[in-house]
Amino acid sequence: MSPAARTRALAAAAALGIAAAIAVARADKGAAEASRGPFVPGLGEIMSLQQARHAKLWMAGARRNWPLAAYELDELREGFEDASALHPVFESVPVAALVASLTPGPLDAVGKAIEAKDAAGFRKSFDGLTAACNACHRAATRGFIVITRPQGPAFGNQRFAPLR
């Protein structure tokens, strides 16, 4: 075999070896991912999103952007459903039961204010929703997490005023 042919054969063998190593690594990664199952967000991640939705709901409603407020309210409802379904009990705290007992009334009141485009009703019902959040935190032994009306826009990259 000529030196050039030997070099080509070694290069081909090396390329084949690298390709085989990549295939094995990909198979191992796929097996590891399959054994872990699908990603399930933790309760803390869900609640952090809820806090963001709560803030966005306030920013939209305070500016009378009723379509955006309705959207954020729906997102809050979905987040509570996710928390209940994915973490019905968390560290002995009955999350699903707390959500079921504390959130429907306040969420419905906010929804009625949004539907009526009632700014005063929105403020009052939003404060009721906020109080329900804090009551839930206290019942869950997380009373140190205190939710309030946002003092300013937490999302500087979103317009909350209605489009004209």
Residue 4, pLDDT above cutoff 70: no
pLDDT at 13: 57
pLDDT reported for residue 30: 60
Would you place residue 156 in the very low, low, confident or very high pLDDT band (cuts 50, 70, 90)?
A: confident
Count of residues in the chain: 164
Q: What's the CA gap between 56 and 71, in Å, rounded?
A: 10
Q: For 11-53, how does the pLDDT look when each residue is reduced to its tens digit (9 = 90+)?
A: 555 556 666 667 666 666 666 556 678 889 999 999 999 999 9
pLDDT band per the 50, 70, 90 thresholds, residue 114: very high
